[in-house]
Amino acid sequence: MDSVRSMPTEAADTDSPASSTQPTGPATTQSDLPATTPSSPVSTAPERAVDKSVVPSNTGNEHPGDGGGDEHSPVTPAPASEPEPVRPKARPASRVKRPLIDVEGLDIDEEDLLERADEICITAPESLADVLAKMREKDAGVLGRKWDVFVADMVLLDSEEGFMKPLKALPVGTGASKRPKMLTDWQNAGRCRRLKDKGGRKSDAKEMPLLDAGDLAAFVKAFKGWYAELQPGWRKRDGELWAKDGVVAEDMGPLNTRGMCGWLSVAACLWWWGLCVFEDEDAEAKRIWQGYLEDAAWMLRVVRIRGER
């Protein structure tokens, strides 16, 4: 998931008729000299060549560049105008593509991010706040700090304009790129929605379902296919995941979205997957999950900072 460069300008021309040198010739008497202002007394000393680069700027009793003023007709001084500074030429654009992670604005203070997200969750819509609360009850922090930062980024993205800016839902996908069935069933069941009794009183939020270990392989395969389909076209495969380089395109693809049917769906899948692999001692399974979490967290940050609004 978003610089001003200074443009070069030409230096102002400081030459004026008043700065031209006087031709050499026979000695000139005082009466032969042109009239001058009181501020410019005539010197009888031999004249030296004038360095135009050090000619002082016009004084307040002269028109700039006219060689002097009329001592009998006071002239209102013109506003002083400083020469336009000579700016360095802009560097030519590099042909080397820089990693997106180095783009200004993507690296942020994680502690500040987490605090802001906690404050936002206090007034977040019940539908989102209940899901996040039920996730925390079940995972007990086992998914680690990177998971917490990912969720905080999602909260800040969804909270734009007071949670009143939902965009298109993430596509369901088809065939090998169809989203996991567990996600579809969870959404159709209302997620963690509170139910009302006949008196209008709301029940407690529903619990988050858990992924059965026997369904893990099929779930992960479906999630990987669906997640690949969500990536914008400028992301290129880099082994199991995608390279974090290239130009930040204006089009972030389906992932440039907000709302309950947006990044929360990706977060739910990663949560189910993560809890399942952290229940055993399979280090390789944890490594693969962490790789997808880091990739999703990076892409979410790109969307939040650089995505179109």
* Predicted confidence pLDDT, tens digits, the chain (309 residues): 444 344 444 433 444 444 444 444 444 444 444 444 444 444 444 444 444 444 444 444 444 444 444 444 455 555 555 555 444 343 333 333 333 334 455 678 899 999 999 999 999 999 999 999 999 999 999 999 999 999 999 999 999 988 988 778 999 999 999 999 999 999 999 999 998 888 889 899 999 999 999 999 999 999 999 999 999 988 888 888 998 876 566 678 899 999 999 999 999 999 999 999 998 889 999 999 999 999 999 999 989 987 776
pTM here is 0.66
Does 189 fall in a domain? yes
Does 87 fall in a domain? no
The number of domains in the chain is 1
Does 160 fall in a domain? yes
Q: Which residues contact 42 (CB under 8 A, 6 or more apart)?
A: 30, 33, 36
Does 7 fall in a domain? no
Tell me how far apart the alpha carbons of residues 168 and 258 are, in angstroms, rounded to a whole number: 8
Does 12 fall in a domain? no
Query: From the CB of residue 96, how many other CB atoms can be counted at a distance below 10 Å?
Result: 6
Helix H segments across the chain? 110-122, 126-139, 145-158, 160-163, 181-188, 216-230, 263-277, 283-306
Does 122 fall in a domain? yes
Does 197 fall in a domain? yes
The domain of 216 spans 100-306
Does 32 fall in a domain? no
